[in-house]
Structure 1
């Protein structure tokens, strides 16, 4: 439990806040994130949250929170919470619907994809200000020459592929994205077929994560989305949601 040094007799003490007054990021009217941290509500302890709204196939980009674990609760709609287990080297996919949660341990690489319109998620963190390192920042700030040399890639192709990423993406794909087509469907489309059940999209095939079983149903690993310029919100150090 966090130790509080708040003077609860102070006229500045806060017990309530309207999250709509602190929009952290907005892609459009259907895809945006509101935030709450100790900077908005000074009586908070080691807790903060993001209020996330997504339409079909929109993605909270792959990222990590190096200082907090994250509990994702589905209020409405449905989404798939995906994370990489760094110990087993597995990509795990957890579809959640209203009333269901998925937990992301501290520092784990993860992302969320909405599978229907009007999806509403609440992400709860065990830190007063969760720090964020986005995949878009790692890709655009690592020199193409280093990526090419390390992974034996064509440097010119790496530069060409990553050149459109000029800022932190947060919610992708961008509105002006020309998505690569895969057999008549985009890779981001929630109707992208499950290889084990080609006649059923993954969004309807599985409903509840199999937490008690050793084998968790695996969904197709999505190809990288081409990224396009976004405003630069901060580079270098991980930054908090709460400003």
Structure 2
């Protein structure tokens, strides 16, 4: 089906693009994200992508896509794709290596952690422009008095803890994060994960671009433990709508930190 708003006879019709020349965010020369959406290639329909480069222990920050599902393909290196299944209320982790994928349904909270240097991931979306809500924005924009009152927390401590979050993170830990300030190491964050193909019992709304007018049963056994716009949003996270087999083992991660070189934003991070 042809895109309704595209005139394929126009001399401005685009059939190719160079993703290397379309930066979204750059932390340093080893950690950056490039983007391809309908803004860069106007003949795209319901497809877009992020080209992600990470060094070990760097994280594509927790976020969700309100208008698309995300398929994460590992080109080289290795990473763990973590998500919360809102139907089982489980935090699930999927390690991926070259040639392997992890799928994040639309609207599910998730993040990606590189477990090797020179990790290269391709995030593919079923929307012309993937929309995103970042964890850093949620923490930065939600009033600390609301967080403190809602969760019975010490407001002064909440304010102090969140004070360093002054802008969108995209790739963390941010510049200035001192290892000693955050306990734990990435190597010990998910001790019960098992690699692809091995037994678990063995060793183990902001947009990424200015969007055009909106146009847009049985459970499977996963290979491991099982990003913004998904179809209809699931029911509340607290109570599952139905129960089904979990895709893998669930576990909680320990925090970690890593000193990083200077961070640099390229272009407007508000949208792809």
The residue matched to 1:139 in structure 2 has which SS?
helix
CA distance in 2, matches of 1:57, 1:148: 30
1:187-230 Cα distance to aligned partner (Å, 9 max, x none): 3x2x226555xxxxx5xx4234986154513344233769x997
Call closer, same or farther: CA 1:15–1:41 in 2, change over 3 Å.
same
1:137 — aligned with what?
Answer: 137
- 8 A contact 2:49–2:125 mirrored in 1: yes
Report what 2:195 is aligned to.
206
Change (3 A) 1:12 1:3: closer
What is the aligned residue count? 226
Where 2:35 maps in the other structure, the secondary structure is strand
TM-score normalised per structure 2: 0.75
Secondary structure of 1:9's match?
Answer: coil
* Aligned-partner Cα distance in 2 for 1:12–1:154: 57
CA displacement 1:60-88 (0-9 Å, x = unmatched): 00001111110000000000000011121
Any unmatched runs of 5+ in structure 1?
197-201
Please name the residue that 2:22 is paired with. 22
Unaligned runs of 5+ in 2: 201-219, 223-244
Aligned equivalents of 1:80, 1:2: Cα separation in 2: 36
Specify whether residues 45 and 111 from structure 1 end up closer, same or farther in structure 2 by C-alpha distance, changes over 3 A only.
Answer: same
- The residue that corresponds to 1:240 in the other structure is 271
Matched, 1:116 2:116: yes
Q: Name the CA shift for 1:208/1:23 in 2 (closer, same or farther; >3 Å).
A: farther
Higher RCO (CA < 8 A, seq sep 6+):
2
Give the structure with the larger strand fraction.
1
Q: Partner of 1:240: helix, strand, or coil?
A: coil
Is residue 254 of structure 2 the alignment partner of residue 222 of structure 1? yes
Q: TM-score, normalised by structure 1?
A: 0.84
Q: Does 1:37 align with 2:68?
A: no
- Aligned counterpart, 1:49: 49
Which residue of 1 is the match for residue 225 of structure 2? none
Q: Counterpart of 2:106 in 1: which secondary structure?
A: coil
Deviations 1:103-138 (A, max 9, x none): 111111000000000100000001111111100000
